[in-house]
Amino acid sequence: AALLMASATAWAGAALIAPPPAPAIAIVPQPVEVIGVRGDAFQLDREARIVIDGDPREAGAVARLLADLLRPASGFELPIVRGEAEPGDIALVLAAGEAPDGHVAEGYRLRADESGVRISAATAAGLSNGMQSLRQLLPAAVERGLLLSSPLEVVAVEITDYPRFAYRSAMLDVARHFFSVAEVERFIDEIAMLKINTLHLHLANDHGWRIEIEGWPLLTDVGGLYEVDGGPGGFYTQEEFAGIIDYAAERNVTIVPEANMPGHVHAALTAYPELTCNGVAPQPHTPAAGGGSTLCPTSVDAERLAEDVIRQLAALTPGPYLHLGGDEVFGYTEEEYTYFMELTSGVAEDEGKTVVGWQEVGASDALPIGTIGQYWGSTVPEELDVALMESFLDQGGAIVMSPSDVAYLDQVYPDRPADSRLGLSWAGPTDVAEAYSWDPARIFEGVGDDQVLGIEAPLWTETITSIDDIEFMAFPRLGSLAEVGWSPAPASGEHRDFDEFSPRLVTFLERFEELDVNFHRSSDLPW
Ligand code: TNX
């Protein structure tokens, strides 16, 4: 009951005698407004249909995902049809006026009662968000994909919802260890359930080059063959990468590719000696610690490589963003560094992309207008951090917040098993409560909601080798971070209430149990 906001705005026609009993609802991230409404629960029956009211090319993917969830659990046919909903149907309504005021991009409304379910939005993204909320109103057992013995019910409810931040991201480092297309897609399924709408793929680092680049076959044929500790590595062909992008898009997840340059490039150097200053290709770098490598600042081949990589990634990526890396570049002069970042960001801009870079990129004052800086310092910034962030803002950009002491998914859990090999600890340890108890608009003075594009939770994979490891490190902490990115800001002077959040997160994790997700049973949650 505590999860519900009291409201007298139950929909027109409902008698306003006493407030309806509050349904037991637990959604992560917490929606903006959840109202218990008069009426009985919706019950899915044999004749129900999924009705698309709007452009089926836009709404089709959401309808199919919903059908894929409900058909095995109900045993019903649940045809997807176009037109107007009849009693008992689930309607997906896509129309300009349907979004909550001022929240066209991703807002949605959801209403359920005995007469049907109606999700409405102005965009496919909004419908997708509504579908993920509906999913969390259903019993966790639907996730198992097996026929259930009891009917599927949705409590009578009305939800109005939209995100606080437009950019709610996870990052997966597929360079330190390589992950198959199937593993990446499973991770996409999982993050989408939390309304994370961006997946930043870190496609190249010292330990491996993971994306096919035409004209540079050895990047992958040589540079893709290793990973940390010398494992087999791997890479995505451009076709496979396009497949990941499509898979993500159907789930309202935008892929942001990054081939990190001009530092962290050891794998590329092993493939092409002309990228080095001494003309000698080094042996592969397999220790977890960084290789300290750079593209030779005076190599024209390095410039040609950078341009080819950026143009091809831009062409492959329908999303608006291209991440140029730019972190931890040792051995460049400031002039060499800013020259390189201005070159690469100019190419990305020329390709029509919004540039994203690690915070170091703020060292340049000649970035494309609107360049996004990704902050990876701590929640208590240092002076240099402040200057770098101001540089992005001064150049018309905004900030993605990834404070490493709360948002880095590769940092150890304080209560990890004694024999755990997972995680680094330079910025941690970080538990579920710490990942929850910070605010992206309260890190830098004067950098509030309007300057913060959103949040990102990076998962670096020096110690992470499998989807099981990914799941263990990402969850449940990504649940905390998803809510920090989505749900309304706490009132000024107040903090998010972990005691309210934590049981709700436990309820969410029942769903992950059904899906056999290998999340960490953190000791700061009330199991
Ligand atoms: C820092 S933060 C890195 C990565 C490492 C990570 C390990 C940043 C831009 N770079 O290269 O993998 O720490 O936690």
Which tokens sit at 301? Answer: 């081949």
Catalytic residue among 47, 84, 328, 500: 328
| pLDDT exceeds 50 at position 8 | no
Residue 84 catalytic? no
Please tell me the predicted confidence (pLDDT) of residue 493: 84
Q: Show which of 161, 176, 206 is a domain's final residue.
A: 161
Could you tell me the distance, in angstroms and rounded to a whole number, from the CA of residue 461 to the centre of ligand 1?
A: 9
Q: Show which of 161, 187, 202 is a domain's final residue.
A: 161
pLDDT band at 1 (very low <50, low <70, confident <90, very high): very low
| pLDDT exceeds 60 at position 423 | yes
Q: Which amino acid is at 59?
A: A
Neighbours of 521 (CB within 10 A): 11
The answer to whether residue 425 sits within a structural domain is yes
Of all residues in the chain, the percent with pLDDT exceeding 90 is 94
Query: Same domain for 133 and 180?
Result: no
| Best of 360, 385, 422, 460 for a ligand 1 pocket test (most atoms within 8 Å of beta carbon) | 460
Query: Same domain for 272 and 394?
Result: yes
Q: Which of 152, 147, 154, 155 is nearest to 45 (CA)?
A: 152
Query: In terms of C-beta distances under 8 Å and separation of at least 24 residues, what long-range contacts does 340-347 make, across chains too?
Result: 340/261, 340/262, 340/295, 340/297, 340/306, 341/367, 342/366, 342/367, 343/303, 343/306, 343/307, 344/261, 344/306, 344/307, 344/310, 345/371, 347/306, 347/307, 347/310, 347/311
Mean pLDDT of 17-41: 82
pLDDT band at 10 (very low <50, low <70, confident <90, very high): very low
Residue range 174-191, pLDDT digits in tens: 999 999 999 999 999 999
pLDDT band at 20 (very low <50, low <70, confident <90, very high): low
Residue range 183-225, pLDDT digits in tens: 999 999 999 999 999 999 999 999 999 999 999 999 999 999 9
Please tell me the predicted confidence (pLDDT) of residue 22: 45
Calpha distance 455→440 (Å, rounded): 7
Query: Same domain for 258 and 374?
Result: yes
Residues 375/443, Cβ–Cβ less than 8 Å: yes
Residue range 123-155, pLDDT digits in tens: 999 999 999 999 999 999 999 999 999 999 999
Query: Concatenated DSSP letters for 144-192?
Result: G-S--SS--EE-SEEEEE--S-SEEEEEEETTTS---HHHHHHHHHHHH
Residue range 48-106, pLDDT digits in tens: 999 999 999 999 999 999 999 999 999 999 999 999 999 999 999 999 999 999 999 99
Please tell me the predicted confidence (pLDDT) of residue 2: 36
Assign residue 300 the CATH number of its domain: 3.20.20.80
Please tell me the predicted confidence (pLDDT) of residue 290: 87
| pLDDT exceeds 50 at position 27 | yes
Query: Same domain for 387 and 403?
Result: yes
With H, G, I as helix, E, B as strand and everything else as coil, classify residue 321. strand
ipTM value: 0.98
Please tell me the predicted confidence (pLDDT) of residue 18: 57
The answer to whether residue 69 sits within a structural domain is yes
Please tell me the predicted confidence (pLDDT) of residue 492: 84
* Overall number of domains in the chain: 2
Query: Same domain for 481 and 416?
Result: yes
| Best of 176, 206, 327, 359 for a ligand 1 pocket test (most atoms within 8 Å of beta carbon) | 327
The answer to whether residue 326 sits within a structural domain is yes
- Give the chain's mean pLDDT: 95
Residue nearest to atom 4 of ligand 1 (CA): 460
Q: Diameter of the chain by CA atoms?
A: 82
The answer to whether residue 239 sits within a structural domain is yes
Q: What is the pTM of this model?
A: 0.95
| pLDDT exceeds 70 at position 272 | yes
Query: Same domain for 149 and 79?
Result: yes
Please tell me the predicted confidence (pLDDT) of residue 413: 98
Please tell me the predicted confidence (pLDDT) of residue 360: 98
Query: Same domain for 223 and 145?
Result: no
Q: Which residues line ligand 1 (CB under 6 A)?
A: 327-328, 358, 376, 408, 410, 424, 460, 462
Q: Show which of 128, 145, 161 is a domain's final residue.
A: 161
Q: Which of 322, 428, 440 is nearest to 381 (CA)?
A: 440
Please tell me the predicted confidence (pLDDT) of residue 19: 52
Please tell me the predicted confidence (pLDDT) of residue 159: 98
Of 18-27, 78-87, 115-124, 480-489, give the lowest mean pLDDT range: 18-27
The answer to whether residue 25 sits within a structural domain is no
Atom of ligand 1 nearest to the CA of 462: 12
| pLDDT exceeds 60 at position 284 | yes
Could you tell me the distance, in angstroms and rounded to a whole number, from the CA of residue 199 to the centre of ligand 1?
A: 17
pLDDT band at 349 (very low <50, low <70, confident <90, very high): very high
The answer to whether residue 355 sits within a structural domain is yes
| pLDDT exceeds 70 at position 4 | no
Query: Same domain for 450 and 467?
Result: yes
| pLDDT exceeds 90 at position 474 | yes
Atom of ligand 1 nearest to the CA of 176: 12
Assign residue 76 the CATH number of its domain: 3.30.379.10
Of 144-148, 446-450, 489-493, give the lowest mean pLDDT range: 489-493
Label residue 359 left, alpha or beta by phi (over 0 means left) and psi (-120 to 50 means alpha).
alpha
Query: Same domain for 156 and 186?
Result: no
The answer to whether residue 121 sits within a structural domain is yes
| pLDDT exceeds 80 at position 383 | yes
The answer to whether residue 183 sits within a structural domain is yes
Query: Same domain for 94 and 236?
Result: no
Could you tell me the distance, in angstroms and rounded to a whole number, from the CA of residue 439 to the centre of ligand 1?
A: 22
Could you tell me the distance, in angstroms and rounded to a whole number, from the CA of residue 354 to the centre of ligand 1?
A: 22
Could you tell me the distance, in angstroms and rounded to a whole number, from the CA of residue 460 to the centre of ligand 1?
A: 7
What range does the domain containing 472 cover?
167-501
Please tell me the predicted confidence (pLDDT) of residue 15: 46
Which tokens sit at 469? Answer: 């490891």
Query: Same domain for 94 and 215?
Result: no
Query: Same domain for 345 and 458?
Result: yes
| pLDDT exceeds 60 at position 358 | yes
